[in-house]
Each structure stands twice: as structure tokens, then as C-alpha cells.
Amino acid sequence: MTDKPAALLALAAGADDDGIFLAQVPEPLCVGPPAHQFLFGGIALAAAIEAMERRTGRPALFASAQFLTWARPGDTLSFDAEIVADGRVVRQCRVTGRCGQLAFLHVQGACGGQDAAIARRDAAMPVVPPPDACPGRSMARRLSTNLNALLEFRLASGAIPDRADWSGPGGVDLACWIRARCGAPLDRRLLAVVADCAFLALDDALGPTTRGSSLDNAIRFVAPPVGEWVLAAMHVDGGENGIAHVATRLFSEEGILLAVAAQTMRLRG
């Protein structure tokens, strides 16, 4: 671990131990232009996953987030994790993220499962070089200097535009190795943060200068996270009426499928 900031909110349990968790939004966890910085959506989803897991005492199985509006640097957030259906094996949850009284995030999910590890079936990691053999790429220009300071990106296949005059052929999938610069080992929260980087796949698939705002993000956990690096293999399904759907598969360095994620984005030219 280093002294670099973690790519996660610090959640404090509320006084009443009632499933409400509180957090401040530090500016380093925000993205967007200086006049319009907002908490990165994947970090909000990660906080909701942590709230679900702390509320239920069980690991998350899946979490599906709907992003309603932005949380800003310095805002105080609450994450209210309710158990909406409870069973011996699975505890279903709903989390409402609020900024003051205003809901900015809705999350549906479930925690639990039996104790045995999930074995990956039919693993099909894309054939790419290991992280050490892939070129590092800055995301400072593509997204924000803040996200680039939190996460380290290495290009495994496809392309990431690094010049304003870049043009790609379109129809190409993108795969990146990603890890937290603070040295934190992978956990389910970090997988959610990484899964929300799927907008990076839009250039390769749809052409340069495409920007997307996430409407939602749904992540399903397949195997326990291990190691530091995760391969995010992204694929864009459709994208011409101002909407794109992106699917992301997340693999460990050993090629184990850790999670699958999907989100719908509104495109901006």
C-alpha cells in the first residue's frame, strides 16, 4: 500500500446501526471539468455495494445502480441499505444514496450464496499479453486527471485515443489491465469502479470523440477477487440513437472470470 488515495469512499456507519452509512465526497474521487466535477459513478456504486455487504454481513452477488443526478466535491452522502427480501441463502437489498434529502442513486442487489467458491465455467479471457508487457496509457486527457491518479491503465487490445486528431476504424473491442495506484488488492468494490470505466470502449466501437454518460451500471460477481490487476474486456452493443449499451467482463491476471457488468449510456458528440 502507498500513500496514494484509495479509489473508494470512506463509509462510516450511522449512529443507530440502522443500515445507514455516511461519507464525504473528496475532490480526488470526482471526474468532469473543473466547473462541473462530480463523484465518479463506479465509486458511488462501490459504496452501495459496501453498504449492502455491511448491512447483511454477506458478500454481494449482484448490484444494479441507477444514476439519478450528480454528487459534488464536499457533499455529505448517505447510503441507506434496506433488506427487502430475506432468506437463509440470499438477502435481497435496496440501497438509496442521498445527497442531503435528494436521492442521487438507486441500487438493487442481493448478498449471500453458499460457502463454496464459484468455479468459472467456459472461461474465455481474450488472448492478451500480461500487464507488464502492455503499454501504460494515461487517461488524464480521455477522462480526468483525477481518475488517472487513482487507477493505472495498461492497454491490452484495441486503442485509446491520445491525440485530438485520432481516428479509429470502429467496431473494435477494447481491453485494458487496470489496478488501483494505492496498491489496494482487488475487491468487489474496486471491480465496480473498474466496470464503470466502460465508456472508454466507445471510441473504438463507434468512432472518436464519442462521450457517454452512464444511466446505470449492473455488476454480477462470479468469483472471489484476487490480485491487483484486473482485465476489463469491453464490448459495445448498438449505439446510434444517442444511446449505447456496453458489456464488460472482468478477469483476474490468471484468467479467472471475476465479474460481468453491463450499462446503458447516453451518448454526447
By CB under 8 A, name the binding residues for a second copy. 61-62, 64, 66, 68-69, 84-85, 89-90, 92, 94, 103, 106, 108-110, 113-122, 170-171, 205-206, 215-216, 218, 220, 222-223, 235-243, 245, 247, 257, 260, 262, 264, 266
Residue 102 Cβ vs a second copy, minimum distance, rounded to whole Å: 10
Say if residues 76 and 22 touch (Cβ distance below 8 Å): yes
> Which residue, 14 or 207, is less far from a second copy as judged by CB?
207
> Which residue, 151 or 234, is less far from a second copy as judged by CB?
234
> Which residue, 132 or 240, is less far from a second copy as judged by CB?
240
> Which residue, 3 or 115, is less far from a second copy as judged by CB?
115
Nearest to 60 by CA among 109, 24, 12, 23: 109
Question: If phi over 0 gives left and psi between -120 and 50 gives alpha, with beta otherwise, what is residue 207?
Answer: left
Residues in Cβ contact with 57 at an 8 Å cutoff, skipping those fewer than 6 apart: none
> Which residue, 82 or 181, is less far from a second copy as judged by CB?
82
Say if residues 207 and 167 touch (Cβ distance below 8 Å): yes
Residue 82 Cβ vs a second copy, minimum distance, rounded to whole Å: 11
Residue 221 Cβ vs a second copy, minimum distance, rounded to whole Å: 8
Cell digits of residue 8: 473508494
Residue 48 Cβ vs a second copy, minimum distance, rounded to whole Å: 12
Query: Residue type at 132?
Result: D
> Which residue, 121 or 163, is less far from a second copy as judged by CB?
121
> Which residue, 150 or 219, is less far from a second copy as judged by CB?
219
Label residues 232-244 b or e (16+ Cβ within 10 Å = b): bbbbbeebeeeeb
Residue 46 Cβ vs a second copy, minimum distance, rounded to whole Å: 18
Query: Residue type at 76?
Result: T
Residue 213 Cβ vs a second copy, minimum distance, rounded to whole Å: 9
Residue 133 Cβ vs a second copy, minimum distance, rounded to whole Å: 26
Nearest to 25 by CA among 62, 65, 79, 63: 79
